[in-house]
């Protein structure tokens, strides 16, 4: 009975995946009417395909692709996607091949999220067993969180819009998820490749190195280690002679301590991949000013925020208003803000590295210099992985309404400002602030929900231990 239900569920899952694929393909055929690739919400200076095509064109006419101030992305992306931007299929919309690549990237990301979710679930069930909370397990099995997360990612309007709007953020998301997946399944080369590429493409994923290292050091998300320690102590004292339990406990004990070996392995692979990427970039940029110029045009562009065209973030407005001599100070303040939150969060959530990665992505998305809806698509997808842990999250309805409201209001305000002229920049910026606040509430509420969940687990194990003692 259960098996048939499970297979039906799997079938439904694949039907939905195919439906999302078809939905995207249909939307791709209306590029002119939807005109999504020119929306500020979708294409930022870093992710716009039009800029990429321009860079490729410059490159073809043997100029530096970074000449002018059009393209600021990675040279590797240019060599991969560039040839596809010029190839036209007769009678088909422009950039058809690019959009197909992005659709494939989306689907692969969803599959990776699903696989990561499955491995997360396996590890969490084994750790819950070792703590002795079997009944909690039953309810967690009701929710196939990997499938949910994959479908949330695929059907999220933000993902669809970013994909149809030809934003290269789909590829960045793929790399980030790849490194998380590699971390969950302990494949150091894969994780290192994902991390290096994601950092190379958009710089901000660099902070994800902490969750990935934690994944290698401690293993995937588990209840607080304090519980495991208590449990093992208790087991040792009450000396239950059950070989299988003993083995389990020993396994867990090993995971309690930070294991340096896989971490070093991972770091070694990072070194390898990053030197490889650097060499490739060096070859590419040799004629156009070398690596230094390349870094100035890509990472420098991200860090110094010279492009103040409106987007859904909050920084453009601030730096348009701020006096020039304070500019450097505030640049440091804002980027420092991202770094400031890393350490406390890592200390508090080190037993849940995947969730930590989620929190980092939201924080980065909030304080990014050129955010787009593709970033939100990523963290909302990862959020689905914790559907069970977050089941009693507060304000979920409010957040949902807020996201719907803001994402509808923002284009209208933009239209009011740019096309009708009856509004001004403040109208649009107000929606950007509202959006940032929503993200803030999402982070705060989800972190507190996870901590509450951990507290509940602690309480339950405590109660159980007392029961057994009695």
Partner 1 sequence: MAEIAEPKLKQRPIVRLGIFLISHSLFVSIVCFTAGVLALLLLPVLAKNTYISENALMPGSANNMLSSHDTSVANKLVKDLTDLKLRSRGSEFDSQKLIAQYMFDLGAEVTHHKFYPQSNQFHPLHFFTSPDSGNIGKNISCSSLGINTVGIIRAPRGDGKEAIVLVTPYNSMKVGVEEAFSLGIAYSVFSLLTRATWLAKDIIWLVADSQYGEYSAVAAWLTEYQAPTFSRAHIVNSETCRESNIVYKHGQKPNAEEKLYDGFRRAGTMAAALVIKVAKQSDYFEDTVNIYAEASNGQMPNLDLINIVNYLAVHKQGLQIKVSKMWSLLNYRWLYTLGVVFESLGQIARSLNPQWKFGIPATEYVEGTATLASSLYYQGLGVPTGPHGAFRDYQVDAITLEISSKVPLTKMARRNEFLIRGGKLIEGVVRSVNNLLEKFHQSFFLYLLTSPSKFVSVGVYMISFALLVAPLPIVAAYLHVEASDFGSIQPKEKSASQASSASKMNVNFDSWKWLKSARKVFAFHLWGGVVSVLPYFISQMPNLTAKTSFIVWILLSVFSLLVSYMISGPSFSEAAASQSQKKEWASLKSVTISAAFIGLSLTSVINFATAEIGALLIVPICLMARPLKLDIKASNLISLMRITSNLVLGFIGFPPATYFLLKGVFEGYSGINVGDFWEWLESLWAWNSATYLYIGLVHLPCWALCIHILFHHC
Does residue number 416 form part of the binding site for partner 1 (CB under 8 A)? Answer: yes
Interacting residue with partner 1 among 2, 5, 32, 261 (CB under 8 A): 32
Helix (H, G, I), strand (E, B) or coil at 44: coil
Q: Which is nearer to partner 1, 61 or 422 (CB)?
A: 422
Using CB under 8 A, count the residues that bind partner 1: 36
Phi, psi angles (nearest 5°) of residue 70: -100, -55
Q: Which is nearer to partner 1, 141 or 246 (CB)?
A: 141
Q: Which is nearer to partner 1, 33 or 244 (CB)?
A: 33
Interacting residue with partner 1 among 108, 272, 412, 425 (CB under 8 A): 412
Contact 395, 243 (CB under 8 A): no
Does residue number 422 form part of the binding site for partner 1 (CB under 8 A)? Answer: yes
User: Which residues lie across from 48 on neighbouring strands?
Assistant: 167
Interacting residue with partner 1 among 30, 258, 268, 276 (CB under 8 A): 30
Does residue number 419 form part of the binding site for partner 1 (CB under 8 A)? Answer: yes
Sequence-distant contacts of 262-268: CB under 8 A, at least 24 apart = 262/186, 262/188, 262/216, 262/217, 263/213, 263/216, 263/217, 265/188, 265/216, 266/188, 266/191, 266/192, 266/212, 266/213, 266/216, 267/213, 268/188
List binders of partner 1 among 133-162 (CB under 8 A): 135-136, 139
Nearest of 117, 112, 132 to residue 173 by alpha carbon: 112
Does residue number 455 form part of the binding site for partner 1 (CB under 8 A)? Answer: no
**Least Å from the CB of residue 465 to partner 1:** 12
- CB neighbours of 318 closer than 8 A, spacing ≥ 6? 330
Contact 216, 186 (CB under 8 A): yes
Q: Angle at CA 253, nearest 5°, toward 249 and 258? A: 155
Q: Which is nearer to partner 1, 412 or 425 (CB)?
A: 412
List binders of partner 1 among 367-406 (CB under 8 A): 391-398, 400-401, 404-405
Interacting residue with partner 1 among 89, 420, 469, 470 (CB under 8 A): 420
Interacting residue with partner 1 among 21, 34, 96, 97 (CB under 8 A): 34
Measure the CA–CA gap between 412 and 424, rounded to whole angstroms: 12
CB-hemisphere CA count at 13 Å for 226?
A: 11
Q: Dig out the tokens for 267 from the structure.
A: 């770091």
Interacting residue with partner 1 among 7, 18, 35, 275 (CB under 8 A): 35
Q: Which is nearer to partner 1, 258 or 400 (CB)?
A: 400
Does residue number 467 form part of the binding site for partner 1 (CB under 8 A)? Answer: yes
User: Which residues lie across from 167 on neighbouring strands?
Assistant: 48
Stretch that binds partner 1, among 49-57, 253-261, 372-380, 460-468 (CB under 8 A): 460-468
**Least Å from the CB of residue 396 to partner 1:** 6
Measure the CA–CA gap between 353 and 398, rounded to whole angstroms: 27
Using a 10 angstrom Cβ sphere, with 0-12 exposed, 13-18 middle and 19 or more buried, the burial of residue 254 is exposed
Does residue number 460 form part of the binding site for partner 1 (CB under 8 A)? Answer: yes
Q: Which is nearer to partner 1, 5 or 420 (CB)?
A: 420
Residue bearing tokens 């399944």? 185
Which spans of this chain sit near partner 1 (rule: CB under 8 A)?
30, 32-35, 135-136, 139, 391-398, 400-401, 404-405, 408-409, 411-413, 415-416, 419-422, 456, 460, 463-464, 467
């Amino acid at each position: 009975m259960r098996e048939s239900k499970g297979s039906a569920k799997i079938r439904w899952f694949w039907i939905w995946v195919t439906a999302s694929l078809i939905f995207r393909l249909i939307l791709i055929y209306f590029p002119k009417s939807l005109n999504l690739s020119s929306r500020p919400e979708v294409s930022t200076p870093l992710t716009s395909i039009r800029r990429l095509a321009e860079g490729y064109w410059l490159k073809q006419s043997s100029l530096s692709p970074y000449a002018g101030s059009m393209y600021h992305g990675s040279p590797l992306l240019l060599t991969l996607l560039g040839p596809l931007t010029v190839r036209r299929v007769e009678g088909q919309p422009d950039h058809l091949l690019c959009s197909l690549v992005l659709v494939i990237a989306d689907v692969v990301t969803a599959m990776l999220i699903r696989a990561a979710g499955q491995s997360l679930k396996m590890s969490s069930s084994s750790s819950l067993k070792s703590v002795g909370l079997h009944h909690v397990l039953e309810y967690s099995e009701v929710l196939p969180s990997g499938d949910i997360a994959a479908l949330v990612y695929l059907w999220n309007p933000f993902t669809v819009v970013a994909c149809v709007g030809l934003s290269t953020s789909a590829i960045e998301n793929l790399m980030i998820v790849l490194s998380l997946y590699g971390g969950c399944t302990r494949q150091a080369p894969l994780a290192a490749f994902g991390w290096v590429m994601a950092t190379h493409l958009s710089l901000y994923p660099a902070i994800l190195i902490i969750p990935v290292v934690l994944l290698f050091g401690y293993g995937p998300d588990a209840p607080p280690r304090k519980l495991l320690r208590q449990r093992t102590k208790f087991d040792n004292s009450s000396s239950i002679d059950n070989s299988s339990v003993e083995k389990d406990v020993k396994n867990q004990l090993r995971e309690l301590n930070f294991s340096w070996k896989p971490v070093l392995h991972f770091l070694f692979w990072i070194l390898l991949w990053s030197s490889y990427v650097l060499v490739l970039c060096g070859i590419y940029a040799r004629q156009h000013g070398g690596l230094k110029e390349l870094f100035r045009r890509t990472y420098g562009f991200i860090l110094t925020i010279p492009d103040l065209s409106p987007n859904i973030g909050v920084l453009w407005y601030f730096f348009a208003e701020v006096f020039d001599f304070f500019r450097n100070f505030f640049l440091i303040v804002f980027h420092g803000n991202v770094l400031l939150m890393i350490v406390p969060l890592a200390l508090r959530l080190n037993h849940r590295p995947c969730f930590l990665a989620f929190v980092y992505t939201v924080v980065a998305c909030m304080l990014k210099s050129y955010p787009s809806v593709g970033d939100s698509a990523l963290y909302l997808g990862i959020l689905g992985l914790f559907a069970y842990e977050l089941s009693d999250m507060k304000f979920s309805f409010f957040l949902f309404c807020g996201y719907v409201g803001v994402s509808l209001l923002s284009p209208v305000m933009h239209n009011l400002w740019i096309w009708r002229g009856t509004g001004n920049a403040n109208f649009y910026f107000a929606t950007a602030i509202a959006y940032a606040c929503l993200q803030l509430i999402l982070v705060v509420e989800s972190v507190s929900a996870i901590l509450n969940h951990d507290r509940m687990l602690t309480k339950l194990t405590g109660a159980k231990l007392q029961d057994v003692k009695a």
